[in-house]
Structure 1
C-alpha cells in the first residue's frame, strides 16, 4: 500500500471587438521560435498566441481571444457594468489549448476578454531547469506577473484541477495573514472559479479514500496518471478524463495533445503536499465559485465539498460531465453555470 501511495502521489491530478484600452499585451516575435510541442494546436478564428516574458527571462505561452460586443453587452455597459477579463489556468498534462477548444470562444462571445496561460514546462511555454516546473508560489507568481504587466482591471481567475490549487495559493497571497508579505506582489482579483480543483489539503485525502473505498479505481488512477498509461491506452484516457460516450477520434486527438503538453511535472508532489494546506482566508474575502463534475474519475465528491467548505461557499456539481469539463462532450454545461454566476456578479456590481 505504501508503494502504491507513493507512486500515486505524483503530478497527476489535473486547459475582438472590445476596446484594447484595458489590455496591453506585449507579444514577443515568434517567427524564429521553434515549437515545443511536436503536435501543434491550431488556433481558432479570433484567437492569437502571445509570449509573456517573465523576470527570469523565460516566456509563458498565452492564448488570447477578445470579447465580442453584442447587443446584450452594450445593454449591460449602459448600466456601467464591467466585464472582468478572464484568465484560465490548466492542470497537469494540459496547456492553454484545453481552454481554447470550447470555452474561450464561448466566453468571448459573451463579451469577456479571455487569456489562457500555459504554465512553465507545458505547451509552448519555456521549460525551466530542474526536474519539475515549479512550486505553488512560483506558478502563482508567474500568473501574477502576467496580470500585473498586461491586465489593467482586476481579472477573474479560472483554474482546473491542479490549476485550481495554484489559484488557491494566489487567493491566499491576497488575503491570508500567513502570506501578508506577498500581498503587494499579487494584483487584486475580481473573483475565482475552481473547476474540478484539487482540494486545499492536496491530493492525499483523495488517495486514501480511493485506496480504502475504491481499490480498483485507485489502481486505475495510479496506472493512468502516475505511470502515464493514459498516453497509450485510449480506453484509459477516456475513463480518466472524459465521458464514456466520447468518440474515439476525439479522445485520440486530446490524448495526443496531452502527450505533448507536459515536458516536466508541474510540481515535486512530495514537497507540495508537505507545504499544504494552503493558508485560509476569511469567508467572503473573494467571490468564489467551486464547481465539480458528477462523473469526475479523479476529484471525488468529498474533495469538492472540502474545497467549498474551506471557502464558505456551496459546491456546485454538474451532472453527466467528467473531469475535463472544458473538453468533455457536454462542455457547455459547466460553461453555462459559470456564465450565470458571472452574470450574477455583474448584477451585484451594477
Structure 2
C-alpha cells in the first residue's frame, strides 16, 4: 500500500496578494496560508498546520471541501485537532473557491480534468515520498472517489502519470458514487417537504439568505445563530463560481470502480445529515466493500458542527490503526 513515510516538502508561495474574498478567513495560531502553483499557472490556496512533536512518522492529511466551502472549513477545528495529534495537515481550496484563482469559464472544473488532477499535482509536488491520507467532504468526497479510481486503473494498465498513491482515503458525508440524483429521487417520494427545502437551500442558494435554513441544511439545531451567521458569510464568500456543471457531472457518473481495493477507505456519515441520507451512506460503503460508520447527533458539516469532536475522534482512531507498522506495507 505505502512504501515510505519520509516527508519531503517542497516550498509553496506565501500570500503576497490582496485577498480575493471580502471576508477572508482569519487563520488560527500555527496555521499558514500558502499557494500551490498548478501546471495551468493558476494558484490553489492551501492552509497548512504542521504537527506537534510525534514519536512516530504519521502520514500527512490532505482535506478536500465540498460545494459552498473552502479550506477554512477544515481550519476551524480539524486542522488544529489533527496537527496536535501528530499529523501534518493541509486543507486545499479548489479553483474558484476561497482564496484560490478562478479558471476561465462559468464553472470551477470537473471531477477528472480539473479538481482531482489539481489535488494530485499538489500531492506529487509537495508531499513526495510520503503518501497522504486524502479526506473529502460532501462533493469533495466524490472528487476523492475519482482520485481513487485513477490510482488503481492507471497503475493496473501501466499508464504514465498515474495519480500519486495514498496511505488511505476518508469519505465524510460524501455524495455516493452514483451522484446525488438517487438522493433527490428518494427525498421527492419519501420526504417531499425536505426535498423542497434541500432544493431551495442548495440549488437556489436559499441558505445564503436564511439562518434557519442554513442551520437545517448544514448544522445541528443547537448551533448558535451568531456562529451560523459567521459560517453562512464564509460560505457566500467561498463559492465565487459553481464547483461543477451538475448536468455534465451526472453524465460522467457513476464513478469508476477501482480494479483493486489497494487503498484503505473509511466511509464516515452523520445520523442527522440533511443532505446525504442513510441509503446514500450505505451505497458508498457497498461500493468500497467497507462498513460505514454513522455518527449520532452530528449534522452534514461534521467538521464544523457543535459536536465536531465526535467525527474527529473516530477518524483519529482509524488513522492510528492505519499507521501501525503491521498495516504499512513496504
SS in 1 for 2:251: helix
Q: How does 1:128-277 map to 2 (within 5 A)?
A: 128-137=103-112, 138-152=114-128, 153-176=130-153, 180=157, 184-277=161-254
TM-superposition CA deviations, 1:122-158 (whole Å, max 9, x none): 0000000101000101100000000100002100000
Q: Structure 1 residues 181, 230: CA separation in 2 closer, same or farther (over 3 Å shift)?
A: farther
SS in 1 for 2:13: coil
Structure showing the higher helix proportion among its residues:
1
CA contact (8 A) 1:173 1:180 kept: no
TM-score of the pair, normalised by structure 2: 0.94
Q: How does 1:318-333 map to 2 (within 5 A)?
A: 318-333=295-310
Q: Structure 1 residues 182, 247: CA separation in 2 closer, same or farther (over 3 Å shift)?
A: farther
C-alpha separation in 2, matches of 1:178 and 1:202:
25
Task: Determine which of 84, 91, 115 is the counterpart of 1:116.
Answer: 91
Shift of 1:25: 3.7
Q: Which residue of 2 aligns with 1:42?
A: 26
Task: Determine which of 23, 30, 41 is the counterpart of 1:57.
Answer: 41
SS in 1 for 2:18: coil
Task: Determine which of 280, 291, 296 is the counterpart of 2:268.
Answer: 291
C-alpha separation in 2, matches of 1:181 and 1:139:
23
Shift of 1:27: 2.4
Q: Which residue of 1 aligns with 2:50?
A: 66
Gaps of 5+ in 1: 1-20
Shift of 1:185: 3.2
TM-superposition CA deviations, 1:254-282 (whole Å, max 9, x none): 00000000111111000000100011114
TM-superposition CA deviations, 1:24-77 (whole Å, max 9, x none): 24222533x1211110100000000100000101000000000101xxx32xx3
Q: Structure 1 residues 233, 179: CA separation in 2 closer, same or farther (over 3 Å shift)?
A: farther
Shift of 1:349: 3.2
SS in 2 for 1:184: coil
- Asked if residue 83 in structure 1 is aligned to residue 69 in structure 2, the reply is no
C-alpha separation in 1, matches of 2:271 and 2:155:
34
Once superposed, what is the RMSD of the aligned Cα atoms? Answer: 1.7
C-alpha separation in 2, matches of 1:322 and 1:183:
40
SS in 2 for 1:176: helix
Q: Which residue of 2 aligns with 1:14?
A: none
Q: Structure 1 residues 247, 192: CA separation in 2 closer, same or farther (over 3 Å shift)?
A: same
Q: Which residue of 1 aligns with 2:322?
A: 345
TM-score of the pair, normalised by structure 1: 0.89
TM-superposition CA deviations, 1:304-333 (whole Å, max 9, x none): 000000000001000000000000000000
C-alpha separation in 2, matches of 1:296 and 1:171:
24
Q: Structure 1 residues 182, 199: CA separation in 2 closer, same or farther (over 3 Å shift)?
A: farther
Q: Structure 1 residues 147, 215: CA separation in 2 closer, same or farther (over 3 Å shift)?
A: same
TM-superposition CA deviations, 1:209-228 (whole Å, max 9, x none): 00111000000000000000
Shift of 1:99: 0.2
C-alpha separation in 1, matches of 2:155 and 2:193:
39
Gaps of 5+ in 2: 1-5
Shift of 1:176: 3.0
